[in-house]
Structure 1
Amino acid sequence: MCDLKNLDPLFPKDELTKVETTALKCIRSITSEKMTDLDRLVLGLQQRIKQLEDNVVELEKENSNLYAAVSLRIIELEFAEIQDLLNKLNRTTDDYHHLNVQAAAQLEDMKDTMVELEKFDKMRVIKKNRENQIKKNLEQCKEELKASSPPPTVSPGRCGLGQMVNVAGPRTSSLTPYGTSYPYGAWGRDVKPARGDENKYWLVGLTTSNVFGHYVRQYSTLSTLLLGIGPKDTYISSSNPTTNTIQGSNMVMYANALYYNCYNKYSVCQFNMTTRAISTVALPSDTGYNSKFPFAHLGTTYSYTDMDFVTDESGVYVIYATTSNFGNVIITKVETSNPPVFNQTWFTSLHKKTATNTFMVCGVLYATRYLDKEIEEIFYSYDTKTNKERYDLKINIKKMKTNIEHLNYDPRDHLLYVYSDAYIVTYELVFQ
């Protein structure tokens, strides 16, 4: 037997534990959600300033003293909201500065500690690993230099925006000019407007049993819509409901035409806002309509929402379900010719009754579900380019009211237009 004497100092495990604890605190304090706070505030500020500029231009055009006074009041409210956003931005910037100084000091301290701990690496494992990693990176770099770059393409799942990471807002919220009488409806802008109609907004309130509509109301600006001044009504039919009038609250405006579910049919209706001509195209005969495959959650069913019309950067889609696809969501591209025709179709594994709404961004379908009275969650996506599905998104939308009857994305301003229990609301999508 003999005694073993270790001449090296003991390994300072307490120091290593301290570094691990500090690193964990850094990870908790600097999250990806926190790093997007500043971006969301800046985007919101940009949006409100643009809206303020539009309102000032409209005020300069006004002839009526009464209307000018009301417009001026709206501008005052816009100023107050912009000031509030600026205050939040300043507070967030200060917090970021404090976090930056604190994190820099912690990182420097961790770096010094790790340099000391490396002295215990007698077998030079860490150094060898670094050398191997550098060699690997060099080889990879050489391969990339040798490879010829493919021509740039715009993928439907990207559009140059990056991955959607959050929903900011609400940015705009107001009771409709109809008041609380019509809790079901839809609103938004023409995604592909004619020249001169870029600032117009449209609104449809479902008047008969909260299910049917037979005319579209248009406003020249957002201000006139919020005030309910100067609407122009375009009638699809003189009576309601009747052949080819609107059924359900899911509809969109694209290239001066309204797309919606034809009354009592498994068909898509295209209503030309100028000529008032109606063209229809039928979906498969086993397509759900009249509340066969509506949006729903455990507490309620959104009646007559079998078909959802959505827009993105490339045009119009119809979202529906059929018995042959077991009630799962189907996506079909609608070519906006006259009459409209159907193009490519994608089949998903998402059962339609498990979602409360859908919208499309850059060729990616997103579905929402009801969490509680205050939160709606974007939980699902389907990329039409890669056919990849995800059920783990967990992006929350803070609701103004309990139910969302209509939801659509406008690629012109990256806003979600929402109709929620007689309120018209907008949210801003935040991308990486």
Structure 2
Amino acid sequence: MLPFLLLLLPAISPASAWMPVEDWESGNVTASVGELGQCVCHVYLPETTFPADRVQHMQQVSTDLILEVDIQRNKLESYGGRLDVYLKELMDLTVRVAMLESSPDAYIKLDFELLRIELREFEAIVSQLKESLNSSSPMFDSLYTEIRNMTFIVNQLETFDKNNLEVIRIEFAKLQKKLEECQIEQEIIKPDIGNCNNTGILSISKPMVIQLNAHLSPGYQYGGWGKDSKPIRGSESMYFYGAYSTPSVHAFVLYSDYDQLLLRAGYKQHSITHGWAGAGNNYIVHGNAIYYQINSPFSMSKLNLTSSLKEYRVIPAASQKFSYSYSANQNLDFAADETGLWVMYASEQSKGKIILAKIDEKSFGVADEMNTGVFKPQAGNAFMACGVMYATRSVDVSTEEIFYAFDTKTKQQKHLNIPFKKFQEKYSNLDYNPTDQKLYMYNNGYYVSYNVRFNKE
């Protein structure tokens, strides 16, 4: 037998590396006799080197494709969610247009204009979505058609809105008249801050109802609000508020300005600590301090708004038996005007008639006492203005009147008849503020204010 030698030779062509074995031709295997007479077989095998660079390239391409697919899928999901929202709003618009079509006389020109604006916005949204998806579909074409139809209907319906336009003109005329009346009243009652060259209050403006209290609760009907009657520098715009569901006093809230009061924001709260809880609601803020009544012991209390220090002074003659007609526990009534700080109360000796006393702000004591002719339970409230004490009482459910005045300079008293309107029947706080010559009333849970007109003849 001849010796056998097998030679394995790689294929020259790289393409043969991917050729299946069964596809090899017979020419890939040859035989011959060697120099020593042995049998030599020549077998041509495919390329044996593994193409790692190609596999790496394919893996990178596959990763990029998967990432792109994820991005496109997320975009489609996002657009799908937005389309759901827009289609729902579009359905709402369709209903509104149908209502307009059924009864066009019930709507005003502003309704049509708002609809047109919203339709233009929807048309822009559909265009944006179409460009983002870079495609067109029957859904987009249908949306465009529906929006154009709705716009046409709105424009057509507006031409039948003549009656409503006439109503709007009448309403605008009424509003303009009210604004003119308000402007005239503001010009008549023009404040003259700090000037007391007058013979007393001549009239009170209509009530300006600001809003419901900061607790947004009509149940907080006992309280007060207003401004510091003698503000320190930097606190000229500050407003205060305090209220509760009973005549008790538990906390005061301070707002930096009028806007913050309306927004119920940016406030600073002073909670009354145990043993210093107040009663009644005739407190005021004066000289960066709150003056209010406490019952244990029964006395007037002072809370410094900067240091939070508290102190109290007992008024021996003051009695807890006499309060105003609208609320209980209003035994001590604090007031301030151009001439200083005051406190009003009744005693057993005065038989329930109001005693007016000047408060010495430095010593926090009573400097002077004057007897008036007002039986306190008959009065709704009382306040000071330009050195004169004014007392109020109810006329009817919607009307109050200033019926009494006591001049601290002349010690003279007189009866008046100065009516003014109330927003609600009962109120728990009424105070004059000399910094703007306004009355501040806490009217059954609402902030109410009045302009004061003085007789300057």
- The TM-score with structure 1 as length reference comes to 0.60
Distance 1:173 1:327 in 2: 34
Distance 1:185 1:384 in 2: 28
Distance 1:213 1:181 in 2: 15
Distance 1:219 1:211 in 2: 22
Which residue matches 1:316? 341
After TM superposition, the structure 1 = structure 2 runs for residues 111-190 of structure 1, keeping only pairs within 5 Å, are 159-179=196-216, 180-190=218-228
After TM superposition, the structure 1 = structure 2 runs for residues 139-288 of structure 1, keeping only pairs within 5 Å, are 159-179=196-216, 180-207=218-245, 210-237=246-273, 242-284=274-316, 286-288=317-319
Aligned letter for 1:331?
A: L
Aligned letter for 1:374?
A: S
Aligned letter for 2:372?
A: T
The structure having more radius of gyration, on CA atoms, is 2
The worse-fitting range, judged by mean Cα deviation, of 401-410 and 224-233 is 224-233
Cα deviation, residue 194, structure 1: 1.2
Which residue matches 2:399? 375
The worse-fitting range, judged by mean Cα deviation, of 257-266 and 324-333 is 257-266
Which residue matches 1:365? 389
Cα deviation, residue 90, structure 1: 8.3
> Residues 340, 90 of structure 1: CA spacing in aligned structure 2 closer, same or farther, 3 A cutoff?
closer
Aligned letter for 2:399?
A: I
Distance 1:90 1:342 in 2: 42
Which residue matches 1:327? 352
Which residue matches 1:354? 378
> Residues 200, 350 of structure 1: CA spacing in aligned structure 2 closer, same or farther, 3 A cutoff?
same
Unmatched tracts of structure 1, length 5 or more: 1-79, 93-155
Which residue matches 1:138? none
> Residues 276, 388 of structure 1: CA spacing in aligned structure 2 closer, same or farther, 3 A cutoff?
same
| From 402, 414, 417, the counterpart of 1:394 | 417
Cα deviation, residue 89, structure 1: 6.5
| From 318, 324, 333, the counterpart of 1:295 | 324
Instruction: Give CA deviations for 1:212-254 in whole Å, capped at 9, x if unaligned.
Output: 12221011111221221222112231xxxx4222211100100
- The TM-score with structure 2 as length reference comes to 0.57
Cα deviation, residue 171, structure 1: 2.9
SS in 2 for 1:193: coil
Distance 1:277 1:311 in 2: 21
Unmatched tracts of structure 2, length 5 or more: 1-172, 186-193
SS in 2 for 1:226: helix
Cα deviation, residue 166, structure 1: 0.3
Aligned letter for 2:424?
A: K
SS in 1 for 2:197: coil
Distance 2:425 2:335 in 1: 22
Distance 2:270 2:384 in 1: 27
Structure 1 runs of 4+ aligned residues shifted over 4 Å read: 80-86, 89-92
8 Å Cα contact 2:209/2:423 also seen in 1: no
Instruction: Give CA deviations for 1:85-130 in whole Å, capped at 9, x if unaligned.
Output: 54227899xxxxxxxxxxxxxxxxxxxxxxxxxxxxxxxxxxxxxx
Aligned letter for 1:417?
A: Y
8 Å Cα contact 1:357/1:368 also seen in 2: yes
8 Å Cα contact 2:209/2:446 also seen in 1: no
- Tell me the percent identity: 32
Distance 2:201 2:347 in 1: 29
Which residue matches 2:142? none
Distance 1:200 1:390 in 2: 35
SS in 1 for 2:377: helix
8 Å Cα contact 1:206/1:249 also seen in 2: no
SS in 1 for 2:261: helix
SS in 1 for 2:205: strand
Distance 1:89 1:229 in 2: 29
Which residue matches 1:17? none
8 Å Cα contact 2:247/2:327 also seen in 1: no
Which residue matches 2:107? none
8 Å Cα contact 1:172/1:427 also seen in 2: no
Distance 2:207 2:315 in 1: 35
8 Å Cα contact 2:243/2:249 also seen in 1: yes
